[in-house]
Each structure stands twice: as C-alpha cells, then as structure tokens.
Amino acid sequence: MPITKFLEDNAKKWPDDVALVETNPEVHEYRPTVWREFELTVTETEGAYRREITWSIFDEKANRVANTLINRGVKKGDKVGILMMNGLDWLPVYFGILKTGALAVPLNFRYDAEEIKYCLELADVNVLFFGKQFISRIEEILDELKEKILFFFVGRDRPQFAEHFLIESSNASSKSPGIEISDDDDAAIYFSSGTTGFPKAILHKHAGLVHSAIAEQKHHGQTKDDVFLCIPPLYHTGAKMHWFGSLVSGGKAVLLRGTKPEYIIEAASEERCTIVWLLVPWAQDLLDAIERGEFNLDDYELDQWRLMHIGAQPVPPSLVRRWKQHFPHHEYDTNYGLSESLGPGCVHLGVENIEKVGAIGVPGYGWETDIVDENKNSVNQGEVGELAVKGPSVMECYYKNPDASVEVLGEDGWLYTGDMAKQDEDGFIYLVDRKKDVIISGGENIYPVQVEDFLHTMTAIKDVAVIGLPDKRLGEIAAAIIEVKEGYTCSEKQVREYCLNLPRYKRPVTIIFAEVPRNATGKIEKPKLREMYGGLNIVATATESN
C-alpha cells in the first residue's frame, strides 16, 4: 500500500482529533486558536503563534494539493519540489504530491540559489512549492527555470512570478483523486552528497516509506496517546521518518519553530509531549541551561515525557549520563541511518539497551547489517570494517547517476554506507570513523570540497583543506587549514569577512594558518591533518600569517 493510506485511514477513524500543531514562540500576534481550510479567523487570542489541524482537515488539504496539481497537468511519475520551512502546510503538500502518483522532492532550506537550481534540474522537477523565505534565492535563478517549472507560492504577499497556491487550491476538490499507487511505484527523491560537491538525488519507492513508518512505530512503541515533539526540518529524512511513527499510530505531533532550551521545555510541558527527538547541540544547550539555573524543571508539567532520542550524529555517552541525572525516568534511544536508507532505523540502540550507550545499536526492524573489508567480505567480530545494511528502505538508486549507484549498492540489496564500524561480542555496532570526509555539525552535513573551492577564490590563499574537529556541543565543527601564497598576507579577520558570503552553517569555525600536506598523487592528506589538529577541541584558533 502507499504511505498515503495511513493518512486516509486516520482521517476516517479520528476525523476530529488533532493531527498537527504548529507553534512559534518567537512570534506574538492575534491568531486563530483553531485553524481550518480558508478560514483565517475563528477565535482570536493574543499570544505566541499556534495553529492546529485535525486528521480530516489534514487529509482534505492533501487532497486539495493533489487535485490542484492534477488540474494543472501533473501526472504519475512527475517530480514536484518542496522548498518550505516547517509549518502546517509542509506535510499536507508532501502527501498531496504523493496522492497524484508524482514524486515528492524536498529541498534543504539552507541551499543557496545555485544549489537550488542544481537540485531542481537534477531531479527533473516540474512544479515547485515554496515559501516567502526563498523568494530572493529563486529570483536569482528564475530566468533559467521559469520555462521549465510551475512555481506555487505558499503564504502571503505572492511574488509576481508565481501562482498563489491558496487561491488555486480553493477551487480544487477536497476529495481523494483516486490515483492507483502501488508499493513498487516511485515516491520521493531526497538529496545527499559525499565530499565532492553538489548533492546526489536519492530515489525511493512507496514500499520504503511504508517500512520506515512501521519500523519507527515498532522501535518506539507509539500509541494514539503519544504526542511527538518535532523540531528538525521536515525536508530531512530523519524528522519526517520519526514523525511517521505518529502517522502509523494516529498520535498528535507538534512542529516547534525554534530550538532555545526554554522553547523545548515549554512546548513539551504545554503540549503534553511524550516523545522528543533532539540533536546533540539542543540536548547540550538544554542541559547547560538547567545547570546554570535558568529555569526550574519543577515549574513545568513533564511527567508525561517518556522518551528522548537522538540521531543524525554520534552521541557522546557523557551527554546521556548527564541527561539521566536530570530526567531519570526517561527512556533513551539513538538511531543511525542515511538518506539512502530513508533516514533513521536501519540501526538503533533500543530503549532497553541503555547500558550500551556509545554504540549505535543493532539492526533495526526488518534490517540486516554486516561489517566488511575492502573486498566486501565479512570481518571478524571486533575488527573494523565498512558498515553495510540491507532492508526494505534501501534506495532504488542515485537518480541519473548509475556510476555512483554501483559504488554503494551491492548484490542482493546491500547498501555500503561508507562508515567504518566494529561489532562487540553482544552484536552491538560502534562507529569508528567515517570513510567519507563529510563533516556533521549540529546534524547538518558540511561538504569540505564546496568550502575549499570557495576559499580558493580568495587571492591570498595558495592552498586550503577543510576538516572536521570534535566539538562538545555540535559534534564537529569545520576547520580550515590555510596555506598563504608567498608574498601575500592574510589574517583571520579577512578570512572570516570573506566567508560571510557562505551560508552560516558552512563557515569554518576554526581557522589555522599552516602548510597543507598533499600526497604523491596530489590528494590532501586529511587523515594526517585530523591527527595533527583533532586534539585541539577548541571553538576557534588562528595563527595569522603576516
């Protein structure tokens, strides 16, 4: 069955139960306490921004999206992009796309204009839903895309080059379009990348989405009474696939805008959340705030909060020990996955295995794992090798990239992750190092070559290497080792000012002026650099060259 069947069943079984809540503590305005399709004012109260929709309204909104697209010629197999911030419209748009038989193509909201253009063209996107935050970026590339793509604006103050989705959908039916979709039909394209620059397009089928949903519910035992607090961006497979547990169980989910510790605690308390998924930096910040005495946990209703789990990056065992000191009744889980495996779930610790904190866990529901050498042969227990996973949510391929697909997809459905790991005597898997050079900082991937290429455009720079250094809060931070041209001067201040043209999350935190080592074939010796500087564990350092 397609993933959309869960939504339709929930709308029939629990039509008037709340499915999604959107809250933004940083916005204060008069707002409707209950939001319905095309009714902008129902009961107005003053306070932090909050909206909610029921399962029936969720399904009706998805149907309007689907029928709007069908009315504009979208058909099965077309690709429809989503470039929006988290909010009540995101998931109805996603499910509406799927209901047409088209493929949903979520885009990272951190992409710059060129990355947006690259991904839209790579995935053959026909239609793009976008929000107000992306108007200027789209305008930069509009001349090259306006003949290929229909732009639907979601929000107020529509730009002239786009059509207003709210107005278009008001004339569309709220009934299911009735498109027949099978497990084997293509469902979505997500984006990932190695260390070589722009992202690769990852193709998944409906069967993979369905299995991810079922596995998430199995792992964390979501019931109708659970309330899931979702903070990470929905374009990310991690956030959406964790929410899929709520989709299967019919439970409420809260989409929180903002990551400040007080926002997380307040949302968990006010919305009576039982499950919260955090990234390492947010958990660190929350613990630090508690220990600084910035708020008292006794002032909040948190007894219902039963599970805290973390994914997207390695989790320091010390963090979990600190967490249990403040929240001793919490269950804890960690999850491992890739976009190529539809996010978390192919390996997970399990709430019953907290004594194994430090491990990423054991094979998830319906998954197999292996650790192999360079010839794809299984290594002995305790030896380091490449982690391979096999299960129903392994990607179909890298879209339009057969060479890259062959590199990671083995025989009989195995996916070679590029992560180095070992297994203990109890079968628990521990990550040792990444085969790839991707830097994971605060749950976001930073691709060193992109940053290196940018810094190479600075006149004074002869050579540059970007590596990840350990960081207590973010897991890793990007460090730039810069070799200055003879006869030139370059300071940390100049580099930082130059990097203002990069997205904030890509800017190097640490800047080191030193020689960049390369081997005989011209490749940067990054293992050597990590060995040289990995013990620094600092927020920033610089030895200026003058």
Out of 218, 234, 258, a domain closes at 258
Whole-angstrom distance, CA of residue 153 vs CA of residue 100: 19
- Would the pLDDT of 197 be above 70? no
Whether residue 510 is found in the same domain as residue 403: no
- Would the pLDDT of 495 be above 90? yes
Whether residue 471 is found in the same domain as residue 513: yes
What is the pLDDT, as a whole number, of residue 209? Answer: 96
In our burial notation (b when 16+ CB lie closer than 10 A, e otherwise), range 10-37 reads bbeebeeebbbbbbbbeeeeebbeebee
- 538 in a domain, yes or no? no
Whether residue 152 is found in the same domain as residue 179: yes
Residue 65 phi/psi, 5° resolution?
A: -60, -50
Whether residue 226 is found in the same domain as residue 254: yes
- Would the pLDDT of 195 be above 50? no
Better-predicted residue by pLDDT, 326 or 280: 326
What is the pLDDT, as a whole number, of residue 31? Answer: 45
Whether residue 12 is found in the same domain as residue 152: yes
Segments forming the whole domain that contains residue 485: 439-533
Q: Say if CB 323 and CB 290 are below 8 A apart.
A: no
What is the pLDDT, as a whole number, of residue 545? Answer: 42
Whether residue 146 is found in the same domain as residue 51: yes
Whether residue 323 is found in the same domain as residue 202: no
- 53 in a domain, yes or no? yes
Structural domains in the chain (count): 3
- 139 in a domain, yes or no? yes
Out of 194, 225, 258, a domain closes at 258
Residue-wise pLDDT tens digits, 440-459: 888 887 878 778 878 988 98
What is the pLDDT, as a whole number, of residue 39? Answer: 37
CATH code for the domain in which residue 339 is found: 2.30.38.10
Tell me the mean pLDDT in the region 480-493: 92
Whole-angstrom distance, CA of residue 506 vs CA of residue 446: 6
- 276 in a domain, yes or no? no
What is the pLDDT, as a whole number, of residue 540? Answer: 40
CATH code for the domain in which residue 486 is found: 3.30.300.30
Whether residue 103 is found in the same domain as residue 206: yes
Instruction: Give which of 86, 76, 88 is closest to 106, Cα–Cα.
Output: 86
Residue-wise pLDDT tens digits, 5-30: 999 999 999 999 999 999 988 875 54
- 205 in a domain, yes or no? yes
What is the pLDDT, as a whole number, of residue 523? Answer: 64
Whether residue 142 is found in the same domain as residue 77: yes
In our burial notation (b when 16+ CB lie closer than 10 A, e otherwise), range 417-450 reads bbbbbbbeeeebbbbeebebbbbbbbbbbbbbbb
Instruction: Give which of 68, 27, 223 is closest to 150, Cα–Cα.
Output: 68
Q: Say if CB 398 and CB 405 are below 8 A apart.
A: yes
- 266 in a domain, yes or no? no
516 three-state secondary structure: coil
Residue 148 phi/psi, 5° resolution?
A: -105, -25
**Is the torsion defined by CA of 129, 132, 137, 138 positive or negative?**
positive
Written as six digits, the tokens of 84 are: 């929006």
Residue 45 phi/psi, 5° resolution?
A: -135, 155
- 211 in a domain, yes or no? yes
What is the pLDDT, as a whole number, of residue 519? Answer: 61
- 313 in a domain, yes or no? yes
> Taking the CB of residue 519, how many other CB atoms lie within 10 A of it?
9
Which pLDDT band holds residue 285 (cuts at 50, 70, 90)?
Answer: confident
Better-predicted residue by pLDDT, 332 or 1: 332
Whether residue 416 is found in the same domain as residue 443: no
For residue 253, the cross-strand partners are 20, 228
pTM for the model stands at 0.82
What is the pLDDT, as a whole number, of residue 398? Answer: 96
CATH code for the domain in which residue 208 is found: 3.40.50.12780
Residue-wise pLDDT tens digits, 315-351: 778 788 889 999 999 999 998 888 999 978 899 999 9
110 three-state secondary structure: coil
Residue-wise pLDDT tens digits, 229-247: 999 899 988 888 899 999 9
Out of 410, 434, 458, a domain closes at 434
Tell me the mean pLDDT in the region 534-546: 49
Whether residue 528 is found in the same domain as residue 410: no
CA geometry: angle 411, 412, 416, nearest 5 deg: 60
Whether residue 207 is found in the same domain as residue 66: yes
Written as six digits, the tokens of 48 are: 């932090």
Which pLDDT band holds residue 486 (cuts at 50, 70, 90)?
Answer: confident
